[in-house]
Structure 1
Amino acid sequence: MKKLVVSAVVLVSTLAYAQENDTIKKSNDIDEVIVHGYITRDRESVNKMPLKEIENPQVYNTVNKNVIKEQVVTNFNDALKNVTGIARLWESTGRGNDGGEYYTMRGFSLQPSLVNGMPSLSNGTLDPAGIETIEAIKGPSGTLYGGSVISYGGLINVITKKPYNYFGGEVNYVTGSYGLNRITADVNVPLSKSLYARINTAYQKNNTFQDAGFNESFYVAPSVKFVANDRLTFYINTEIKTGESSNAPMIFLNRGNALTFNSIGVFKDNYKKSYTSNDLTINNYTFNLQAQAQYKISDQWKSTTIISRSNTKTDGYYSYLWDLSNGKDFLRQISKAGGETNTTGIQQNFVGIFNFGNVKNKLLVGLDYFEREFVLGGTGWMGYGNVDIVNQTDTVAPDQPTTLTTSAVDKVLAESGAASGNFQTKIYSAYISDVVNILPNLSAMLSMRIDHFTGQPTAYSTQESKETTTFSPKLGLVYQPIQDKVSVFANYMNGFQNVDPVENTNADGSKYWAYFDPEHANQWEVGTKANLAGDKFSITASYYNILVKDKIMPDPFQQNNSIQGGEVESKGFEISFLGSPITGMNIIAGYSYNDSNVKKGDPTYVGYRTEEAGPKNLINFWGTYKFQQGVLKNFGIGFGGNSASRFYTLNRGGTGAFPLPSYIIMNSSLSYTEDRYSIILKLDNIANKKYFSGWSTVTPQRLRTLSLSLNYKF
């Protein structure tokens, strides 16, 4: 069998771009393409139209499957450490509706909520086994994606692996510290000349560095591609994941009282305490189905129709610790969580590439329908013992140790009653986006969305919001002083979020419902992109300013009421590097600075950095080198890590500010790679550094881990 080995970054980018558009065809002379590089740049899915990165007025970062494999990534958070300006705030809680991980980007919290451009909510963690590429799209992208699944800072879109036209696959086994065992398989099979099937699957079990805690999951993702004729192609992608875990410790500082802690020391002393047991577990189930039809209407026009359906379920014990504001004690709150979320999405896109006179246009016209329903179940909340983190005791009474077993907890929860409730959201949208080439090296993007919302945005209100119609514009300019090599861009982008009604109290004690308009975020951004050294290296640098208006805030004259009118400003600078400056070397690096403050609203917050903004400074770096000749040929080394500045997990007037310390985490790898197999030894957190994440919480992060990956291709 003949093979073509590709290592140039420009070809890697071209191959990935062409595969996404289904234009790669196996030639008669080449049976397999082996790609040693791992940089993907041009992404049609970012703007739902074919647009090169250098002519795109928006910033985005990507992480593809080759990076995930090379870094021995076994969880979604480690994959995102390659994205400039992103950090995790909360680990997955597993609870219903919003139990997935929370991250921060450009000063605002977000969750991974899109798969192949369609809403796909998760109550747990995403498995890397089915991921082709992760797209982190920066800024408030309401124009193309609406207000239900985005953050003002951006969004995370996961592109799944899809069938290709020849037989192939690989199996991988990873073992490592804390009982890690993970096995994955990726198999692609042509079933006929027009029908292709692919299945990705993974099983993983691991413990934690703490005295209790584990995760066990099974993931399977079958997909099918059917080529009906030279104009029409169908794709069906399915993902199923089941998982059982004991949730990571959620240690909340008291948001309403003055802080009684002034140092991280006591939390470091209890770094390996989980405050739970492996008997108290939570089960998560996720099902996603997408059916897509791509139809070539003519040489200028293409139609894409997508129907998606997802279902998530939660069942099990979720607990957290709540600061009792005496400098030592935390109350354990626990419930047996239950819930189910169903989402339905229907999207129709038409993309045309044509000339209007002498002016080239790339036009997108789309219609979108999204429905979400959440049903709450399980028990209510009960206090279950006090944890004294200074004297290291855990008691339900002053002299009685807490029994963390299902039978003991169930006995207490029997008195809590049942949790019940549900909400439904329906959103109807239409959008249009046109990229006009005013000159060969000057283009403008003009976009608009109209969005009609009914229902409840979240599960935290018993009252439906008022029906709302929202407009969201987007404008962009790109000038290329050197065609396809250097561009200067500017954008104006809008994002919005519908908000729940709130029950307020009049002066006479009577109650009334307060209804609110959607919050709006407006971003302006300027920057530059460059492809250097024969497209082997790329740089993106930009400065942005995001202003969120109409924020819901406490009424300064009656703190238990909520009013609208707050403002938050988030501004900053980002620079990202990607590429292979010399043969055998690959580099991913980035630096971000973010300044996020409340400008208007509740005096408790005005002038303070927002707690969801995370660290002001973030650095990511990963570099590898594979020896090309000599006795070390096919051996490789890798080194990199992440750094974050000190940040305040709690930061408000009257309460105080609690800083989580800055950190530098370093990782390294050794590898040996042949055409068919590879062996990688990965060491993470080399210095065994104790560090924390949080969002009004204090959560210890993973200590030093050693992993061994064995991979075989066929």
Structure 2
Amino acid sequence: MNQRIHLIAPLFALFFASSGVTFASNIASSSTCGSFFVDNDDDDQQHGSVKGRIITQDGQPAAFVTISVKGTAKGTTTSDDGSYQLRHLTIGEHTLVMSFVGLQTQKQTVTVQPGQTTQLDLTLQETAQQLGEVQVRGYKSANQVPVSVGKVAIKPLDLPQSVAVIDRDVLDRQQTLRLSDVLMNTNGVYVMGATGGYQEEIAGRGFAFNSSNTFKNGVRYNNGVMPEISSLERVEVLKGSAAILFGNVAAGGILNLVTKKPRFESGGQVAMRVGSFGFYKPSFDVYGGISQNVALRLNGTYENSRSFRDEVKGERIYVNPSLLVKLGNRTELLLEADYLKDSRTLDFGIGAINYTIPNIPRDRFLGTSWGYNRIEQASTTATLTHRLNDVWQVRATGGMQNFTSDLFGILRPNGNNQFIKTNGDWVRGLQRTGINETYWIGQVDLTGIFSTGGIKHTLLIGADADQYRTNTTAYTNLAVYDTINVFNPAKFRLRNDIPTLTARQLTQAPINRAGVYVQDLIALSEKWKVLAGLRWSYQQTGSTVTTLADSKASTVTTFDDAFTPRLGLVYQPRQTTALFVSYANSFAVNTGVDVAGNALPPSFINQYEAGIKNDLFNGFLSANATVYQIKNSNLAQTSLQNGNTNTNIKELAGEVTSRGVEVDVKSKTMRGISFLAGYSYNETRYTQSNTYIVGSLLRYNPNHTANASVFYTVQRSGFGQGVQLGLTAFYMGERMAGRSTRTTVANDAFRLIPLPAYSQLNASVGYVRPRYAIRANMTNLFDVLSYNVHDDNSINPIAPRQVSATLSWNW
């Protein structure tokens, strides 16, 4: 515990440092067209507020317009519907400066009255000189907003790859609590399991996302615990290959969780959420400038929850401080940290009987009330950004993360050869495992936007190095703890004491990685663009297994390196349409040895993707479609030479092929209405195998997923203004769990468990005012029953119908 506190404490100390550096702002003036009125939303008699809506000359909402208060550090940007609010302004006259690329920079003088909110609506004019270079309509479509997950700002319309972004507005409207709630807004990326009830296992395009595929602010994040959603500004999903940027990552894509950043505008929020089964969650978010060059943000939450599952409960504490320091006109330093402590009942669900899911009540708990999984995770990150000139920028990031877990409780059903019998009797065993993992990363990126002749370049050159130190302590399992009957809990008298298990083995698994990469987006003309890049990666993987009883140890070390290329072509027949094709190569490190005792080389995975991206109705609607094929042609499987049965001796004899299509639709807000929707089809099969049936499906991957959300906000003045309504529908297609049948084992007992498709509908309602918001939502309206399944031993029912409500106060 002290170690995690020491990681966070230095940032808290910096929050209270002061700076005497002054900041001057000189902005050119121009005429403004606007209207005023005053209401009494602000009850602070020493200050007042300004709010309003900005539109363009054609009447469309102007999103992302920067609004600054001249002579102060206060400022904000307009939202998707063009609305904005500046709170806690001193009384008297202020000059507001509005600016956006393609629009005339304008100034407007406004008088702030004590305890009042002044309404200021504006119409901005387009600048013809700027429109010669970039056509701007006052707001950007989903395909026009650059994403940070690619290490360099590239619009999705210029990127030969599928990207999805779920922003804070959607997270708030849907009152998302877990990452699984967020992924109801994406297609092709989904929850594949919920092992033990303490984590959500994610997959995409047929491939599991491990910790190497989950990032927070561009730095790898251990996804062995459910991340805290309240701290996020948005979630970015980059589908397909990301190996050129991040090295050894799974083929399906990556997730990047972007946390809330410091702001110079003072403000904050406190909120309280309550829900079904005794759930309550207070939270806070405070931000502001402590000088004209230093801004901070601090948010956090406490969560206490029961569950629809008998005897299951959870508790978590989270805090996320961040500090932004402007070291000069061209340099800024961003310091971020977070700390999470999560403790919850160990719950492996209801188990399977002869590879079928038994008819057991959804709320029946088969573990022990004292079983637990306790996790602590702390991280710190420092990012230094320096603009060398108007063309070149360098960004350096260093980060550290510590992750510990202590798992103690019942063995998984059907684990350790203790299968649930047909009559429901099950001999329960005990397990315990401890993990301590420390992770470091350093990376430097140089980006430049320049031209050579008539050809424009967006160049990225970078290098990174990271290191894992993972120590896993295994304890001697207790094969027989007691016996229960899953259909009739009263049949046996259950034990509730806590035996002592002895630590028996320590596994130390160091990983050292390094890579250098270069990527260039080349605009050959206004219509043709090429994205090309190459990465070289080096990875050293070790494993030292020590038997604690006699201190005997064995060590294995492997070394791998690989080149991973990327090539994409984009054709834009008009500014709002892009057609693309791309090829990318990634690699997966293998464990085990070949028949000669040599370490296995990595498996290489080829990915092909093609699609079309469209902005329709003047950018109101973005509609994209993608088709892809991902093929691992040298999958490592157990070697069959000379009748070998040692699973550590392998050969690159298998092939897995994933094919699919994805469709995404997302709108901007118009007259208070917005929506997003998507559909994906995926088929991931063994196309060659010496172990499994050729043509058989890989587990956990649904053939079909679909999602649709619609939101409505009452915008007209008067009664009902600020009311928000929303519906979210999610469809999960048929998929397989259990265990794939082995062709190499006579009379193999392994079987797959088919999981039927299901649909879930959620509804939300809210009343949002400048100072406060009341929101409520109901999930799983029709009380659908389904399961997240890992193998045949962690079969966790999805939650039934639940309701929650949140009251928040803003300043």
Global fold match (TM > 0.5): yes
Aligned counterpart for 2:224 among listed residues 100, 105, 123: 123
Which of 536, 539, 544 aligns to 1:453? It is 539
Query: What is the distance in 1 between the residues matched to 2:439 and 2:786?
Result: 36
Question: Partners in 1 of 2:60 and 2:183 — Cα distance?
Answer: 23
2:566 alignment partner in structure 1? 474
| 1:621-679 deviation per Cα after TM superposition (whole angstroms, max 9, x unaligned) | 11111122364332222112211122111252242221112111111112111122211
* Aligned residues of 2:368 and 2:409 also touching (Cα < 8 A): no
Q: Which amino acid counterpart does residue 342 of structure 1 have in structure 2?
A: T
TM alignment of 1:265-414, pairs within 5 A: 266=358, 268-323=359-414, 324=419, 326-327=421-422, 328-377=424-473, 379-385=475-481, 391-393=487-489, 401-404=493-496, 408-411=497-500, 413=501
* Displacement after TM superposition at 1:463 (Å): 4.3
Q: Does the C-alpha gap of structure 1 residues 105 and 488 become closer, same or farther in structure 2, counting only changes over 3 Å?
A: same
Q: In the alignment, which residue of structure 1 is the partner of 2:556?
A: 464
Answering whether residue 183 of structure 2 is matched by residue 80 of structure 1, we say yes
Q: How far has the Cα of 1:605 moved from its partner? A: 3.8
Greater shift, 3-12 or 186-195, is seen at 3-12
How far the C-alpha of 1:389 sits from its partner, in A, is 5.5
Name the structure 2 match of 1:598: 686
| RMSD (CA atoms) | 2.7
What is residue 430 of structure 1 aligned with on the other side? 516
Q: Judging changes above 3 Å, is the alpha-carbon distance between structure 1 residues 383 and 588 closer, same or farther for their aligned structure 2 residues?
A: farther
Secondary structure in structure 2 of the residue aligned to 1:602:
coil
Equivalent residue letter for 2:537 = D
* C-alpha spacing 1:73/1:423, structure 2 compared with 1 (3 Å): same
**Which amino acid counterpart does residue 89 of structure 1 have in structure 2?**
M
Secondary structure of 1:410's partner? coil
CA offset at residue 297 of structure 1?
Answer: 0.7
Write out per-residue CA displacement over residues 672-692 of structure 1, whole angstroms, 9 at most, x where no aligned residue.
Answer: 111222111101001111111
Given that 2:613 and 2:623 are in contact with CA atoms closer than 8 Å, whether structure 1 keeps it comes out as yes
CA distance in 2, matches of 1:535, 1:475: 28
Deviates more, 1:167-176 or 1:310-319: 310-319
Alignment correspondent of 2:89: none
Once the two structures are overlaid, the 10-residue window that deviates more, 55-64 or 241-250, is 241-250
Instruction: Supply the distance in 1 between the matched residues of 2:70 and 2:509 (Cα, whole angstroms).
Output: 55
Question: 1:333 and 1:539 mapped to 2: Cα distance?
Answer: 52
**Paired residue secondary structure (1:68):** helix
Residue 166 (structure 1) aligned to one of 265, 268, 274: 265
Question: Structure 1 565/558 Cα, relative in aligned 2: closer, same or farther at 3 Å?
Answer: same
Q: CA deviation at 1:417?
A: 3.9
Q: Is 1:220 aligned to residue 351 of structure 2?
A: no
Residue 783 of structure 2, aligned match among 679, 684, 688: 688
Question: Residues 684, 657 of structure 1: CA spacing in aligned structure 2 closer, same or farther, 3 A cutoff?
Answer: same
Please say which of residues 598-607 and 202-211 is displaced more in the overlay: 598-607
> In 2 relative to 1, CA 329–155 (structure 1 residues): closer, same or farther, beyond 3 Å?
farther
Give 1:515 deviation, angstroms. 1.5
User: Do the aligned residues in 1 keep the contact of 2:286 with 2:299 (CA within 8 Å)?
Assistant: yes
Structural mapping, 1:194-213, within 5 Å: 194-213=293-312
Q: Could you report, residue by residue, the CA deviation over 1:515-566 in whole angstroms, capped at 9, with x for unpaired residues? A: 1111221110110111112212111110000001221112244343322221
Kindly provide the amino acid, as one letter, of the partner of residue 271 in structure 1. R
Q: Which AA in structure 2 matches 1:662?
A: A
State the Cα distance separating 1:170 from its structure 2 match. 1.4
Alignment-mate amino acid for residue 738 of structure 2: L
Distance 1:458 1:204 in 2: 38
Q: Matches of 1:474 and 1:389 in 2, distance apart?
A: 55
Deviates more, 1:67-76 or 1:202-211: 67-76
Is contact 2:507–2:544 with CA below 8 Å preserved after alignment? no
Change (3 A) 1:299 1:391: closer
* 1:516 counterpart = 2:600: yes
Q: CA deviation at 1:581?
A: 6.0
Kindly indicate whether the alpha-carbon contact (under 8 Å) linking 1:234 and 1:294 is maintained by their aligned counterparts in 2. Answer: yes
1-structure distance, mates of 2:205, 2:388: 39
Contact 2:262 2:287 in 1 (8 A): yes
Q: Report the Cα offset of residue 599 of structure 1.
A: 0.9
Per-residue CA distance 1:249-286 (angstroms, 9 max, x = gap):
25565xxxxx8244x4x2x4232122124422221100
Q: Counterparts of 1:462 and 1:179 in 2: how far apart (Å)? A: 49
Structure 1 pair 11–359 and aligned structure 2 pair: CA distance change class (3 A): farther
- CA positional deviation for 1:446: 0.5
Asked if 2 retains the 8 angstrom alpha-carbon contact of 1:100 and 1:111, the reply is no
Q: Who is 2:243 aligned against?
A: 142
- What CA distance in whole angstroms lies between the structure 2 residues aligned with 1:581 and 1:188? 27
Q: Distance in 1 between matches of 2:543 and 2:290?
A: 44
Q: Which amino acid aligns with 2:653?
A: G
**Kept after mapping to 1: 8 A contact 2:432/2:474:** yes
Aligned 8 A contact 1:169 1:187 in 2: yes
The answer on whether the counterparts of 1:369 and 1:428 sit within 8 Å (CA) in structure 2 is: yes
Listed as ranges, the gaps of 5+ residues in structure 2 are 1-48, 83-140, 547-552, 742-747
| 8 Å Cα contact 1:111/1:156 also seen in 2 | no
Alignment partner, residue 528 of structure 2: 442
Residue 68 of structure 1 aligns with which residue? 171
Amino acid in the other structure paired with 2:354: T
Picking from 354, 365, 382, the partner of 1:260 is: 354
Is 1:620 the equivalent of 2:707? yes
Specify the SS of the correspondent of 1:401: coil
Relative distance call for 1:705 and 1:298 in structure 2 (3 A) is same
Aligned to 1:2: 50
User: What amino acid sits opposite 1:423 in the alignment?
Assistant: A
Q: Report if aligned partners of 1:178, 1:206 keep a CA contact under 8 Å in 2.
A: yes
Whole-angstrom CA distance in 2 between matches of 1:459 and 1:59? 41
Q: How far, CA to CA, are the matches of 1:240 and 1:343 in structure 2?
A: 15
SS in 2 for 1:151: coil
Query: For 1:459 and 1:623, how far apart are their aligned partners in 2?
Result: 53
In terms of mean alpha carbon deviation, does 374-383 or 72-81 score higher?
374-383
**Which residue number corresponds to residue 155 of structure 2?**
52
Aligned to 2:79: 35
1:261 & 1:314 partners in 2: Cα distance?
A: 30
When residues 129 and 37 of structure 1 are mapped into structure 2, their CA distance, relative to the original with a 3 A threshold, is farther
Provide the aligned length of Structure 1 versus Structure 2: 673
8 Å Cα contact 1:37-1:586 kept in structure 2 = no
**Residue 436 of structure 1: CA displacement?**
0.5
Distance 2:155 2:219 in 1: 21
The CA deviation string for residues 137-158 of structure 1, in whole angstroms up to 9 with x for no partner, is 10121111110xx221111111
Q: What is the identity, as a one-letter code, of the residue corresponding to 1:377?
A: T
Query: Following the alignment from structure 1 to structure 2, what is the Cα–Cα distance between the partners of residues 459 and 642?
Result: 44
Amino acid in structure 2 at the alignment position of 1:358: G
**Contact 1:362/1:434 (<8 A) preserved:** yes
SS in 2 for 1:248: coil
2:783 and 2:801 in contact (8 A); partners too? yes
Letter in 2 for 1:402: L
Q: Which moved more, 1:54-63 or 1:630-639?
A: 630-639
Query: Is the partner of 1:535 in helix, strand or coil?
Result: coil
AA aligned opposite 1:429 = G
In structure 1, what is the Cα distance between the partners aligned to 2:284 and 2:393? 34
Offset at 1:582?
3.0
Alpha-carbon distance in structure 2 between the residues aligned to 1:499 and 1:647:
26
Are 1:526 and 2:610 counterparts?
A: yes
Amino acid across the alignment from 1:477: L
Contact 1:537–1:581 (CA under 8 A) maintained in structure 2: no
TM-score (norm 2): 0.79
CA distance in structure 2 between the aligned counterparts of 1:601 and 1:13, rounded to whole angstroms: 53
Paired with 1:346 and 1:375, the residues of 2 have a C-alpha distance of 22
Residues 166-185 of structure 1: pairs in structure 2 closer than 5 A: 166-185=265-284
CA spacing shift, 1:210–1:534, aligned 2, 3 Å: same
